[in-house]
């Protein structure tokens, strides 16, 4: 809308007509004061302002307009009696477009000027709108960037707190952040830690995953800088996408050495167990065949021979029985179904009985008893006997060059402690804490001695379930002393 300010209605009328004929919207004011009021209220794209008016003249109006932020940019065409006035006007109205027309007004010139200003004003409005959207866009991007930076920072802080080795990479696979754990395996932050086996294995698989934009999931062995040993790790990396573009990768290396070892132990166990089960079965089969043959022979010799084969078969059957019993115990422990039939009893007779049986079955071994187990306990007799037998048979088994075993009993105010000492192969210091773990066998001796690595684990579980303690003292090459204690009843 165009505002015409003139104190003479006839002037306004003629100007208005010219402009309206040319499809301009026009408003008018008969004084400077009225003009100012209207300018504050409405939006104009051009003001045609008469210089000479009673009261506030054109200059004063222009000066006032230039003071309002809303109107300071509206262009003005002054209508003046002489063009010398204009120099004066420009001082007061520095910003915004300005022009003048001398009176009497030539309608063609007026139209030309109005059209120019109108076009300029329209363009300015459009430009302003574009500028506004651009500014908003910039603001939005700035905010998005700040949020992204914040998120990346958050992610990094999180990655610092996890126990795994963690990293992030750009969409193109270039590493951009690694956490502290990384430096346990690598002294370079921009390349993957070296792994065992194929050269550059991780880097190659990583590049394949990045090229395909697909998650990576592989097992690798990383060398720890501090001890130079290799540890199994699971490398998992996932792409983070925006739309269909990968913008970042987040990855971790999780130490799976322990799981791997358990898995390996389990596999070994299965192969040893099946072998151990098969051996007595093969012997039993052979003795049965011999027995069959003997029975077909002449009678006097047969009964003696048969008894011999039957005895050997029984020994093998006992072996099988104890193996299967151990296997069953393991599965009962695993499923939480190992049950105890506890009652009160005197310990000494039980101990003496077990020692007697072991002496009979191992006549070459001298079992020396020290101290009496004169105490009452509340326990499962059969299970405690199992622990004693296990300790004693191990002491004999792992002492191929010694024929002496000491069994020591000590009773204190509320505890009974039994220890079985041998003078055999012993156990290296660093392996002693693992000895009671499931499937654990000391590697150095595993080829020399048969076994499944479950006996001590079952013992430890039995003693633990009786609120007792257990352990071992040993020196490699000199012998071992296995002990357990049980609470006594006063």
Question: Interface with ligand ADP by CB under 6 A: which residues?
Answer: 394-395, 398, 422, 424-427, 435, 440-442, 445, 451-457, 480
The residue (of 19 and 425) whose beta carbon lies closer to ligand ADP is 425
Query: Please, what's the b/e burial string for 336-355 (b: 16 or more CB within 10 A of its CB; e: otherwise)?
Result: eebeeeeeebebbebbeebb
The residue (of 9 and 400) whose beta carbon lies closer to ligand ADP is 400
The residue (of 77 and 425) whose beta carbon lies closer to ligand ADP is 425
Nearest-angstrom CA–CA distance, 21 and 316: 124
Nearest-angstrom CA–CA distance, 102 and 126: 31
Least distance (Å) between residue 419 CB and ligand ADP: 11
Nearest-angstrom CA–CA distance, 275 and 446: 14
Nearest to 219 by CA among 263, 175, 156: 263
Nearest-angstrom CA–CA distance, 328 and 405: 29
Least distance (Å) between residue 440 CB and ligand ADP: 6
Nearest to 458 by CA among 397, 350, 395, 383: 383
Nearest-angstrom CA–CA distance, 36 and 62: 9
Nearest residue (beta carbon) to ligand ADP: 451
Least distance (Å) between residue 369 CB and ligand ADP: 18
Per the CB < 8 A criterion, the answer to whether 409 and 417 are in contact is: yes
The residue (of 58 and 455) whose beta carbon lies closer to ligand ADP is 455
Q: Which residues contact 45 (CB under 8 A, 6 or more apart)?
A: 1, 2, 74, 75, 117, 118, 121, 122, 125
Nearest-angstrom CA–CA distance, 312 and 343: 35
Nearest to 313 by CA among 343, 280, 337: 280
The residue (of 195 and 480) whose beta carbon lies closer to ligand ADP is 480
Least distance (Å) between residue 252 CB and ligand ADP: 35
Least distance (Å) between residue 345 CB and ligand ADP: 25
User: What are the φ/ψ torsions at residue 370 (nearest 5 degrees)?
Assistant: -130, 125
Nearest-angstrom CA–CA distance, 480 and 470: 13
Least distance (Å) between residue 391 CB and ligand ADP: 8
Least distance (Å) between residue 266 CB and ligand ADP: 15
Least distance (Å) between residue 311 CB and ligand ADP: 24
The residue (of 179 and 386) whose beta carbon lies closer to ligand ADP is 386
Least distance (Å) between residue 310 CB and ligand ADP: 27
SS3 469: strand
The residue (of 15 and 452) whose beta carbon lies closer to ligand ADP is 452
The residue (of 77 and 456) whose beta carbon lies closer to ligand ADP is 456
The residue (of 253 and 457) whose beta carbon lies closer to ligand ADP is 457
């Amino acid at each position: 809308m165009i505002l015409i300010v003139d104190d003479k209605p006839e002037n306004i009328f003629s100007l208005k007509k010219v402009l309206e004929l040319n499809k301009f919207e026009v408003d008018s004011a008969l004084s400077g004061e009225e003009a100012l009021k209207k300018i504050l209220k409405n939006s104009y794209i051009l003001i045609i302002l008469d210089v000479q008016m009673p009261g506030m003249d054109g200059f004063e109006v222009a000066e006032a307009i230039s003071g309002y932020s809303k109107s300071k940019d509206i262009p003005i065409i002054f209508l003046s009696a002489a063009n010398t006035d204009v120099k004066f006007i420009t001082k007061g109205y520095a910003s915004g477009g300005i022009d003048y027309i001398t009176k009497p007004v030539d309608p063609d010139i007026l139209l030309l000027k109005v059209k120019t200003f109108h076009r300029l004003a329209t363009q300015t409005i459009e430009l302003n709108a574009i500028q506004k959207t651009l500014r908003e866009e910039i603001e939005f991007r700035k905010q998005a960037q700040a949020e992204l930076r914040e998120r990346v920072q958050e992610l990094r802080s999180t990655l610092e707190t996890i126990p795994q080795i963690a990293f992030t990479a750009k969409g193109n696979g270039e590493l951009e952040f690694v956490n502290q754990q990384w430096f346990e395996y690598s002294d370079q932050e921009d390349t993957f830690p070296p792994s065992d086996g194929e050269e550059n294995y991780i880097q190659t698989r990583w590049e394949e995953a990045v090229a395909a934009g697909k998650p990576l999931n592989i097992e690798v062995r990383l060398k720890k800088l501090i001890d130079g040993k290799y540890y199994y790790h699971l490398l998992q990396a996932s792409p983070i996408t925006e739309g269909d573009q990968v913008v970042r990768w987040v990855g971790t290396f999780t130490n799976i050495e322990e799981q791997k070892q358990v898995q390996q132990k389990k596999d070994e166990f299965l192969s040893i167990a099946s072998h151990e089960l098969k051996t007595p079965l093969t012997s039993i089969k052979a003795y049965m065949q011999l027995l069959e043959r003997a029975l077909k022979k002449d009678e006097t010799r047969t009964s003696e021979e048969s008894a011999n084969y039957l005895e050997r078969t029984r020994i093998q059957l006992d072996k099988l029985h104890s193996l299967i019993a151990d296997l069953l115990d393991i599965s009962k422990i695993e499923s939480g179904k190992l049950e105890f039939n506890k009652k009160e009893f005197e310990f000494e007779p039980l101990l003496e009985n077990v020692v007697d049986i072991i002496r009979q079955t191992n006549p070459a071994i001298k079992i020396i008893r020290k101290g009496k187990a004169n105490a009452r306990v509340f326990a499962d007799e059969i299970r405690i006997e199992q622990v004693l037998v296990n300790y004693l048979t191990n002491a004999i088994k792992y002492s191929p060059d010694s024929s002496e075993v000491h069994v020591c009993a000590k009773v204190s105010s509320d505890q009974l402690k039994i220890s079985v000492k041998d003078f055999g192969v012993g156990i290296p210091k660093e392996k002693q804490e693992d000895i009671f773990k499931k499937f654990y066998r000391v590697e150095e001796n595993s080829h020399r001695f048969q076994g499944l690595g479950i006996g001590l684990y079952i013992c430890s579980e039995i003693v633990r379930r009786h609120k007792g303690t257990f352990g071992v003292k040993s020196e490699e090459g000199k012998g071992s002393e296995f002990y357990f204690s049980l609470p006594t009843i006063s």
